Structure 1
């Protein structure tokens, strides 16, 4: 007999799922057996939210949708924060979870369909053994399309007989599902809207092309570069698309609060910014500080119907299709003469590699976080995956540790403004891309919140470097709200010995109070990176990130002119 749980595992494996992350309970332990029995690798997490974050990071670094799994009730509710992050980020995550029986909810059950929908996830509920394979295939197809999805398996269907769904029928279902996915056409932009953008490009004297995560996913990088070369434009990326233009001499790097001062100055000189596959959230626009008030802003994206009021032209289209079409229209016009690039060539090179000056604030057993970041940057290999938790510290590695491509960055929690997902993200990244060194960067607050998954990272045999910017505080809140009268005792703590914790869990560790303490990293790298090395970096508490300093200075001086 083939049970429904086994059929689901066979279907998902047949559709290409290679790995799953989860925490087992009564509602899903047999579903996990169905996955492993079909050849899917399974990684046991310590918390359900972490299992979702692992799958999220795995998708970000591989581009492949994957499965995470929890039990019903409390197992499901534990997963909601990470599920919200995955849904808002557009990650290919499929959460396979137990659910209340078809006959009705029990005392410990909740309305999982409503909860999942409330955080933006798509919900698929299996209603019979006969339709289980079809429903599972539909849920995975939605995940592959960038919609975090939930597949609910009612308790009374887990062991139901699904033998009537033969292997031939399953194979036909899989082939049909693959054919349906490959037949989907990208959104083609209306000609009138494209013509309006082409006209704006023709009039621009200082055009900037911005690529976001959507451009990366659409494979639009080359088309955008070709268009920019035709127009004499500069390039920039959002944080999530970091590395897309790496090595290009006309790229200024990241746009937003993490831009270098030189890059920010060049971006503010642009008279036209065309954003491909970028949401243009307040961080990319640096809360109104990033662009000249008179600059024209164009957004080209599949979801271009939503977004900030600041946008002048919106085009709902696939980024790659639109960039190629705009290149055709540009080629039909006379080639522009000498322009912006020639006048700013030296400034672009300086902006991209700019190392802002500062007075070192280290001393009394604490290292300046900027000095720490620069010193580590000189040691790290180029082929790396950077996994970030949340906190004010993120500015320093984003600016100083470039990634080889957007798949080399997993910024966990950014979409939902959560912290505590960094260790879990490191597990997913290390499992997905073992060919690259995983560098996990966390603050002490996020590290303690997600500490159980450091054990998972060590247990799964990953090679990873963990860097904890440890100021014994919620640094963002201290610097942002201290001047507003906050009681800072609510955001500051006694020191934590993360090095001792890491060793207790089976990892290697080093407390870092000065650059000299980084000798352990050199030794670890020279030994071919065995296991997990945790750096408990005691950073100076009084250093404020530049992006936060800008926010503390108040609203931008110049409102947009009408």
Structure 2
């Protein structure tokens, strides 16, 4: 490979060396040299409509592939717009690298146009904040950023690119990627875990977090199924164990079954793999807080950031390392846990069952039941369907009812961040165009990044979008009714024609205002996605009184 003629080119060549296939960007004059490097490169530049959308796409790519998603934005306002995804990546432990153009070095500390301090802005929400001050170190900085984003507990890394430095001649060498350790279970740790499980009356495996691979998820599933150990999954991380597996007792967090929460709290031995007992699964640090609780935490994060409750033992290992250690372990006690396991699995299946038409509550004229639309959709879904969702009550329709049979197949935020559904669907569709991508959105959530439908059309991201329109920020309305009954304030919305919105961008649009329209709308929308290869949107007008399943 010829020596790059400027640092911007070296950055692009280094991204290619790290296996990057696409970057998500909103262009800016502060990093023109990098855009120049991308000209003619074997890296696709996906131009988003807003920096928040671009950065969400990068975060979703990190979740979906396990490799850092790459976003590029300009200084000041561009960086501010991208911050929401950085916070999501920080709290969700997602590998992501955000390149931010900066003012020239000579203009620092002079209140220059769009100047800001990247370390001050991002220092508490990123694993590292790096600034390229020497052109010769451009490739080294990229390698350091990717290593930091992937190693240990993954997370976001910020790379600042001064406008002048990236135009300077690159005189360094291209640096190879830095290997990331998976950790391991020592013989002592493996014996302690297996001995505790073998002697347990109510064992439970709890899974989630990052650093999973399809192979690791399959291996952990085989271990749990062979030994009859029930598995609970972290909130918005429902794809580590197949939805239909007999050991799956459901997801913890908001909208979980009471049985799953009880099992999590009552288990006499808990083995947490990748996931930790954080605030959401513990119901605000109330479940599993006994000082004598037996909790084996298998986490590559040496700090155990976010954990609560007792720690019996901490194995510094990724889910990959855990899967390799336990895959062939036979405890010989599966039958002893039949009743314990079956109770949880039956509750999980019951929560995922949509009632028949006779049991549905009456709905106002001009509105439809979301359950009817989802019910129609379920009959058409391939086993490897990917669902994406943002935040809000509407996410329960995907979390409860849409099966996640393989890993990865669910993209969602665990920090309650809205506006994620559409950008994450774009990222998943571009990465795996052969899979059906279904994005379940609320009306308020969709409009936070709905403009990225234009990006989907431009780059051929064929995906199905379902917008539940109840004319309100329903989650906040629910909280409002609980704390201030009958005093609705600041939660009501006046919405556009979402189907027309999709068509305006070049997608397919359907509107459902009665249950008898659902079947045709689903069929036509799926045909647009699978045969015409363009995004399709189903606008479901629902009754405000019926927010949840």
Please classify the TM superposition score into its range, dividing by the shorter chain length.
Answer: 0.7 to 0.9
For the Cα contact (< 8 Å) 2:446–2:467, is it kept in 1? yes
* Alpha-carbon distance, 1:130 to partner: 1.4
1:153 to 118, 142, 161: 161
Q: Confirm or deny that 1:532 pairs with 2:535.
A: yes
| 1:153 aligned counterpart, secondary structure | strand
Residue 481 of structure 2 is matched in structure 1 by 482
Alignment of 1:251-400 (within 5 A): 251-260=248-257, 263=260, 270-287=267-284, 296-303=294-301, 305-318=304-317, 319-322=319-322, 325=325, 335-336=332-333, 338-341=335-338, 345=342, 348-349=345-346, 351-352=348-349, 354-355=352-353, 357=355, 359-400=360-401
Q: 2 CA distance for matches of 1:525 and 1:337?
A: 42
Match of 2:441 in 1: 442
Distance 1:507 1:343 in 2: 48
CA contact (8 A) 1:209 1:235 kept: yes
| Aligned pairs for 1:36-55 within 5 A | 36-55=39-58
Q: Counterpart in 2 of 1:126? A: 132
**Partner-residue secondary structure (3-state), 1:85:** helix
Residues 281, 271 of structure 1: alpha-carbon distance in 2 compared, 3 angstrom cutoff: same
Which string of whole-angstrom CA distances, capped at 9 and with x for unpartnered residues, describes residues 311-349 of structure 1? Answer: 342414214434655678x76xx8447401267548735
Instruction: Find the aligned partners of 1:337 and 1:438 in 2 and give their Cα distance.
Output: 36
**2:230 alignment partner, one of 231, 234, 237:** 234
Q: Structure 1 CA distance, aligned partners of 2:122 and 2:76? A: 12
In 1, the alpha carbon distance for the partners of 2:181 and 2:65 equals 22
Distance change (3 Å), C-alpha of 1:61 and 1:513: same
Aligned CA distance change for structure 1 residues 436 and 335 (closer, same or farther; 3 Å): closer
Task: Please give the alpha-carbon distance, in whole angstroms, between the structure 2 residues aligned to 1:375 and 1:337.
Answer: 37
Q: Which moved more, 1:397-406 or 1:236-245?
A: 236-245
Q: Which residue of 2 aligns with 1:141?
A: 147
Q: How does 1:29-108 map to 2 (within 5 A)?
A: 29-105=32-108, 106=110, 107-108=112-113
- Contact 2:277 / 2:309 at 8 angstroms: preserved in 1? no
Deviation at 1:151, TM superposition (A): 1.6
Is 2:247 the counterpart of 1:244?
Answer: no
Evaluate the alpha carbon distance shift between residue 449 and residue 342 of structure 1 in structure 2; reply closer, same or farther with a 3 A threshold: closer
Aligned-partner SS, 1:489? coil
Superposition TM-score, scaled by structure 2 size: 0.87
Give 3-state SS (helix, strand or coil) of 2:27's partner.
coil
* SS of equivalent to 1:449: coil
Distance in 2, matches of 1:114 and 1:299, equals: 33
Q: Deviations over 1:456-515 (max 9, x none)?
A: 222222211111111111100001122312852311122432122222222221111223
Instruction: Give the direction of change, closer, same or farther, for the CA distance of 1:529–1:386 in structure 2 (3 Å limit).
Output: farther
Is the deviation greater in 50-59 or in 315-324?
315-324
Shift of 1:396: 1.6
Mapped partners of 1:116, 1:389: distance in 2? 23
Unaligned stretches of 5+ residues in structure 1: 547-562
Q: Deviations over 1:386-409 (max 9, x none)?
A: 110111111121110012323211
Q: C-alpha distance in 2, partners of 1:325/1:66?
A: 29
Distance 1:121 1:306, change over 3 A: closer
Counterpart residue number, 1:494: 494
How many aligned positions are there? 529
Report what 2:411 is aligned to.
410
Q: Secondary structure at the match of 1:496?
A: coil
Q: 1:200 aligns with which of 196, 211, 228?
A: 196
Question: Cα distance, 1:195 vs. partner?
Answer: 5.2
